[in-house]
Amino acid sequence: MKAAIIGGGVIGGGWAARFLLNGWDVAVFDPDLEAARKITAVLDNARHALPQLYDSALPSEGTLSYCDDLPRAVAGADWIQESVPERLDLKRRIHGDISAHAPADAVIGSSTSGFTPTELRATGARVIVAHPFNPVYLLPLVELVGTNDTRAASILRSIGMYPLTVRTEIAAHIADRLLEAVWRESLWLVKDGIATTAEIDEAIRMGFGLRWAQMGLFETYRIAGGEAGMKHFMAQFGPALAWPWTKLTDVPEFNDALVDMIADQSDAQSGHMSIRALERLRDDNLIGILRALKSTGTGAGAVVAEHEGKLSAHSRP
């Protein structure tokens, strides 16, 4: 099996690692002269992290190659994943080239976090949205938009991912809309001097972030309702939705002062570590969380356990 990765940044590199470490051959096309170096750095982290999720061996790595032109990269590919910068004109142009040269039966996915398939297909491209989350080689979620083809979902499951079909096209899909709400409120809290970036991160990782990892939002609130369940929770806390607690319908002016404030606080919070060191710390923590969830078959851990069962079956003589 062959995957073609168009765009070798953080997300493209993560896709390359996910496919490669699951035994696929991977061809990368990216005119950036630094693409090979960047992908090598992502692969180093992936090779350190992904095998630690499982008690069964991953398949032998596929072959990684870099192509000077897009047609050669997509030739013979079973899955083609575009991860170029989030500019609609650029994505449309790239997908025009992909559709012109891709095998007829190849799945063509876009990593776009905001655009819909209809927007991407406006110039005739045959593309679906397959939106992953960073790091792609560890986090299983992929939002699939614009397809009822079970083959795409089957391929993603075969490499240990969790395809979530988004039934209706909507800008930013599902997960990023939720993240945007938290991001907006966090920007206001920093701008208004109520909390620093570090304090907001502590509020998330010391509290509800841990609950979300295993139960998400609604199941967490169901428990909060006690024995009476969700109906009691809604009756008790629903009226708070009318209170002026948040500024989700507004956004602070995104000016230089706000950017500098956020950047300075972020530097004070984490500037003592390189990005690669932060990535390795993130991955090690995710491995511990995912393995704990795997032991109970909960949340993303259930996806890891299912994939491990397939790995174990393939490795038996």
Do 106 and 255 share a structural domain? no
289/180 same-domain check:
yes
Question: Same domain, yes or no, for 104 and 240?
Answer: no
Per residue in 4-49, pLDDT (tens digit) is 999 999 999 999 999 999 999 999 999 999 999 999 999 999 999 9
Residue type, 290: L
Same domain? 240 vs 197: yes
| Rounded Cα distance, 147 and 167, in Å | 9
Are 117 and 250 found together in one domain? no
Structure tokens at 102: 């891709």
Digitized pLDDT (tens) for each residue of the chain, 317 residues in all: 999 999 999 999 999 999 999 999 999 999 999 999 999 999 999 999 999 999 999 999 999 999 999 999 999 999 999 999 999 999 999 999 999 999 999 999 999 999 999 999 998 999 999 999 999 999 999 999 999 889 999 999 999 999 999 999 999 999 999 999 999 999 999 999 999 999 999 999 999 999 999 889 888 888 888 888 888 888 887 777 777 777 777 778 888 998 898 889 999 988 898 888 889 999 999 999 999 999 999 999 999 999 999 998 776 55
Examine the domain organization and report whether 147 and 200 are in the same domain: no
**Chosen domain end from 114, 141, 166:** 166
Q: What is the overall mean pLDDT for the chain?
A: 92
Binding-site annotation: residue ranges for NAD(+)? 7-12
* Other Cβ atoms within 10 Å of 131 Cβ, number: 25
The residue among 142, 166, 190 that closes a domain is: 166
The CATH number covering residue 100 comes to 3.40.50.720
Same domain, 150 and 18: yes
| 136 shares its domain with 182 | no
Q: What is the pLDDT of residue 186?
A: 94
CATH number assigned to the domain comprising residue 298: 1.10.1040.10
Task: Give the total number of structural domains in the chain.
Answer: 2
Owning domain of residue 31: 2-166
Residue 300 one-letter amino acid: A
Distant-in-sequence, close-in-space partners of 1: CB < 8 Å, separation ≥ 6: 23, 24, 25, 62, 78, 79
Q: Which amino acid does the sequence have at 74?
A: V
Q: Are residues 17 and 143 in the same domain?
A: yes
Co-location of 143 and 225 in the same domain? no
- pLDDT in the model for residue 316: 57
0.85 exceeded by the pTM?
yes
pLDDT value, residue 128 = 97
Which of 166, 198, 224 delimits the end of a domain?
166
Q: What pLDDT does 249 receive?
A: 73
> Both 158 and 212 in a single domain?
no
Mark the binding-site residues, compressed into ranges.
Answer: 7-12
Q: Calculate the CA 30 to chain-centre distance.
A: 20
- On whether both 96 and 179 belong to a single domain, the answer is no
In 10 A of CB 60, how many CB atoms? 7
State both tokens at 60: 């032998």
